[in-house]
Structure 1
């Protein structure tokens, strides 16, 4: 739905971006009675990659009251994960860790639309097809400049608010404005590319492959495989398959999109097990997309009257399906910081510093988990260790097992040991039989 009403001249909070982070933050603040205006440059539903969710996300859905709407959307439950990394096959299921609510494979256009409409239903005013051009922080109350493409409100305008939340994703509006956006050393040259297939087969948690006739009967896993120049994902959705590649841009930097599609197709069909899974699949022509500037973070993710959440604050690596989890977490702490600043304006600077610490802490955890970095590039090991000490044991245990799939896990495990957690139970990455190393997959 496009809101064709007049954009107000002022409000309490401007949220830039209607993805999971922006929608969640807008919902929480609107529920607390604040006047929230959300600008989204696209018109929903819109295509988006990142279809795999881990079961942790349900606690955020419960918090915002959107659980029943997510359940009604009937997304595909996923059972766990299987990875092939440098020839080693690693398998785990979420049920082994005591989760009784499923992880999901979601069509992000539908999932994100459910979240955005829920924000509207809770009192946030949503304007789609409105792009934010910048924010003037010279006044204690920021002034947001925007350009509307909506009929009836087409043209430039400004809105003043008490707090700005940047949830603009890879656009990272404030990080670019502040010149605080930093590419991660060692991952500057990486690029994500993805496309969609119909038909084909997927892998269940038992390590066997299944055809489309089993969708809804046998839950898929998120399947990951390393390849010569990165790694790839296979995510079964209800009526299509999401296939993605993480690659070094040196292989494609001189290619146009017409050349990249054949490269993408030839590469994925030659990755171990992908070839068999996609043998009878049909590529959806023109579905390939890509994202450069692969891993980055902001050195200034928060202040007394702003917060940068989700991908607008940092993007790590989707190898552990951690993106939406990070979006919901950062949105929750940002909503808390904004409300706290409203209640105690004299302590707004302190709340801004606390928010920055929490955002950097979670970013460091995600970086350490996905890329194995111990320090540097915005990662403070002491903050990560503190977070590990406070996490629910089941969540940390599953993350430790997941991190063992690759050759990036050494530093993450070392920090867990420094936190004094699972030191005795953790042996060769396999905890108490909750994960297994398989000899082969039956595809």
Structure 2
């Protein structure tokens, strides 16, 4: 067993069945599930955990993957804030009807968590080691080794200066947004509609709701619907609060580029947020991420597969990032295990899960795009109360069931009505 602390020495690392690049949620998931089936898995992570990462809000469908990972007992023992719902606040500061997960699906899976990612990710990678994954932190993957179009291993370097080639039947790229294989093969496609950016920080003593609403993720629109804030209550009296808007609006078309000034200009445009920050103390620097929505043209190739952000990233709006990391890791793990058992590690075999996964990702993307195009949850539920359950299913992360497609035509109908209304307005 390789410790997940201290400095790794790779001089004695041998060949393995599967190499995983990156120890975030997707890498920890795929490696754990493959190791559970008795295969030798070696994971290389360039950083030492715990380390900072954004994306703190889980959604309920993560439950099923966490269960397979044997993570649920550990999660229940944490201080992580329990999350029961998501709530939306209009540009005028009006709270719409909350979406309580258990009202739609009365099961323990409907209670999830708001996590400090440094702690959650550390738990996940330690869990991988406990399941037999050979975890090496502080080790950089310099390149993925190919023989023709087939990935056959990686070249790695540790902090002591050791460099060596390690070979495997399958290489899983879970390297995050840097996505080594995607970048090498030129597979990245930027989302031309979701050219967003985010700016965030952390607060102490900000307002918290009580009872069932204490752990709710709150989405608050800014005036003119130019952007929105996330409001995520974490443990230890910490609140994660960030703004998302078009990249050009947030960072390019302004007189100031100072992050603090931009942040508070947007707070001033968000009447639902202002009272929540009264008396609060900022406890962290401002951080930014720009134009982050993309996807790979391929999910797998001969001897390689992409998972998590190494395949694609959607948008932080509905907190789908960790779910997509865990789900892609789970699906890829099952495909890798099947391929190893059958002696078939072709791209077709390793990527057989891709179409269904992408379809689920597209369902979430549609909901994201609708929001940015003026979609109102309150108006939708008022017009189609019978479909609130399906809308809640999407917010829960139940993305892989065709029943949720029942919301598509009503969304199209509302959009047509909006277009007709706009066309009827007099021209000034």
Does the Cα contact within 8 Å between 2:390 and 2:407 map onto a contact in 1? Answer: no
* Cα offsets for 1:385-426 (capped at 9, x unmatched): xxxxxxxx99855235789xxxxxxxx99943679xxx9xxx
**Is 1:144 equivalent to 2:154 in the alignment?**
yes
Q: Structure 2: which 5+ residue stretches go unaligned?
A: 372-386, 415-428
TM superposition shift of 1:247: 2.0
Q: TM-score, normalised by structure 1?
A: 0.78
TM superposition shift of 1:170: 1.4
* Cα offsets for 1:146-171 (capped at 9, x unmatched): 2322xxx4343321111111111111
What SS does structure 2 have at the residue aligned with 1:200?
A: coil
* Cα offsets for 1:345-376 (capped at 9, x unmatched): 24734313413323423332332232249xxx
- Which of 394, 406, 411 in structure 2 is aligned with 1:416? 406
Pairwise mapping of residues 283-302 of structure 1 onto structure 2 (< 5 A)? 283-286=282-285, 288-302=286-300
The aligned residue for residue 42 of structure 2 is 37
Q: CA RMSD in A?
A: 3.0
Does the Cα contact within 8 Å between 1:93 and 1:205 map onto a contact in 2? Answer: no
Does the Cα contact within 8 Å between 1:142 and 1:160 map onto a contact in 2? Answer: yes
Does the Cα contact within 8 Å between 1:55 and 1:99 map onto a contact in 2? Answer: no
TM superposition shift of 1:204: 4.6
**Is 1:92 equivalent to 2:87 in the alignment?**
no
The aligned residue for residue 207 of structure 2 is 201
TM superposition shift of 1:318: 1.5
What SS does structure 2 have at the residue aligned with 1:26?
A: helix
Does the Cα contact within 8 Å between 2:228 and 2:245 map onto a contact in 1? Answer: yes
- Which of 224, 227, 231 in structure 2 is aligned with 1:234? 231
| In structure 2, distance between residues paired with 1:183 and 1:35 | 35
**Is 1:398 equivalent to 2:392 in the alignment?**
yes
TM superposition shift of 1:24: 0.7
What SS does structure 1 have at the residue aligned with 2:95?
A: strand
The aligned residue for residue 28 of structure 1 is 33
User: Cα distance 1:318–1:285, how it changes in 2: closer, same or farther (>3 A)?
Assistant: closer
What SS does structure 1 have at the residue aligned with 2:200?
A: strand
| In structure 2, distance between residues paired with 1:125 and 1:116 | 10
Q: Structure 1: which 5+ residue stretches go unaligned?
A: 207-217, 374-392, 404-411, 429-443
The aligned residue for residue 182 of structure 1 is 189
Structure 1 runs (4+) greater than 6 angstroms displaced: 254-258
**Is 1:104 equivalent to 2:130 in the alignment?**
no
- Which of 110, 121, 124 in structure 2 is aligned with 1:115? 124
User: Cα distance 1:59–1:353, how it changes in 2: closer, same or farther (>3 A)?
Assistant: closer
The aligned residue for residue 344 of structure 1 is 342
User: Cα distance 1:257–1:43, how it changes in 2: closer, same or farther (>3 A)?
Assistant: farther
TM superposition shift of 1:205: 7.3
Pairwise mapping of residues 356-367 of structure 1 onto structure 2 (< 5 A)? 356-367=354-365
What SS does structure 2 have at the residue aligned with 1:330?
A: helix
* Cα offsets for 1:39-81 (capped at 9, x unmatched): 1121100111111111221211111112111112231102211
User: Cα distance 1:354–1:285, how it changes in 2: closer, same or farther (>3 A)?
Assistant: closer
Does the Cα contact within 8 Å between 1:2 and 1:127 map onto a contact in 2? Answer: no
- Which of 233, 241, 244 in structure 2 is aligned with 1:246? 244
Question: How many pairs does the alignment contain?
Answer: 379
| In structure 2, distance between residues paired with 1:258 and 1:401 | 34
| In structure 1, distance between residues paired with 2:132 and 2:262 | 46
Does the Cα contact within 8 Å between 1:175 and 1:301 map onto a contact in 2? Answer: no
Does the Cα contact within 8 Å between 1:333 and 1:358 map onto a contact in 2? Answer: no
**Is 1:4 equivalent to 2:8 in the alignment?**
yes
User: Cα distance 1:178–1:264, how it changes in 2: closer, same or farther (>3 A)?
Assistant: same
Q: TM-score, normalised by structure 2?
A: 0.80
The aligned residue for residue 18 of structure 1 is 23
